[in-house]
Amino acid sequence: MRNELLKNRKHDPRIKYRGETASRLDNLTDAVFGIAITLLIFNLTNPNSFQDLLTFTKTLPAFLISISFIVLIWNEHLGFSEVYTLNDTRLTILNTVFIALVIFYVYPLRFLTLFLTNFFFNTEIAVNIQGDQVPYLMIYYGFVAFALYFVLYLFYHRALRLKAELNFNAFEEFYTKSQKNRLLIMFVVPLISIILTLIINEFSFIWASVVGGVTYCLYTPLIILWHNKFKNKSKEFENV
């Protein structure tokens, strides 16, 4: 499946795609993502009555959001492995940590999306959490999100160390550094959320929960700034 997907993806002619054929490690990673999605499905309520069906329907927004985040993380891994491959001992170790984190990511993600579905859509999905526990949920989720993106950041850091072995051209070196900067944004935002939540929770668990969640809105302006800078700088390599 991965091989077919890679064939149909849009490729940049300035980049050499070294991992277009999936390795056994790639296939293992894909299988773990499949398990993660399966765990989300098992958490859905099995409808045996009309009331159960209504409850099942109410959980769909949380389920779809959870699936979207899992696919987003998978796409990050796919983007790396098709350019650089995972044929390196340290990358293999990082990948092992990464797939373990993916499984841990499922549960706080699912719990948080169900809680937010209740909060914003006034549903009555059974989520057993007290108000003063919400900041700790934000911290739990933030830590796993931080860890996932930090490991992905280390993927690109390692790839940059291997630039001679991988025979990078000028654009590939720029591209790798740019992806490192993007993933720096991706893991720093959850870290900021954790720190603010911990500080504010000393005074108010309500504001700690609000600020911890709103902090993730920083992604939008920061990624837009990164994308504009990346796009403008990329033009310098168009004739290379």
How does pLDDT run across 147-170, given as a tens digit for each residue? 999 999 999 999 999 998 888 999
Mean residue pLDDT across the chain: 86
pLDDT of residue 125: 64
The percent of residues in the chain predicted with pLDDT above 90, rounded, is 43
Q: What is the DSSP string of 41-61?
A: HHTS----SHHHHHHHHHHHH
pLDDT of residue 143: 94
pLDDT of residue 133: 84
pLDDT of residue 149: 96
> Among 25, 144, 34, which residue's Cα sits nearest to residue 91?
25
**Amino acid identity at 10:** K
Pairwise CA distance, residues 108 & 60, whole Å: 17
Q: Report the pLDDT averaged over residues 112-134.
A: 74
Grade residue 145 by pLDDT with cuts at 50, 70 and 90. very high
Find out whether 99 and 105 touch, Cβ atoms under 8 Å. no
pLDDT of residue 4: 58
Pairwise CA distance, residues 107 & 136, whole Å: 14
Grade residue 124 by pLDDT with cuts at 50, 70 and 90. low
How does pLDDT run across 174-187, given as a tens digit for each residue? 999 999 999 999 99
pLDDT higher than 70, residue 126: no
Pairwise CA distance, residues 172 & 34, whole Å: 31
pLDDT higher than 70, residue 239: no
Find out whether 127 and 118 touch, Cβ atoms under 8 Å. yes
pLDDT of residue 1: 57
How does pLDDT run across 52-110, given as a tens digit for each residue? 677 777 777 777 888 888 999 999 999 999 888 888 889 999 999 999 999 888 888 88
Grade residue 208 by pLDDT with cuts at 50, 70 and 90. very high
pTM for this model (two decimals): 0.88
Q: Which residue has the tokens 């859509």?
A: 121
pLDDT of residue 45: 59
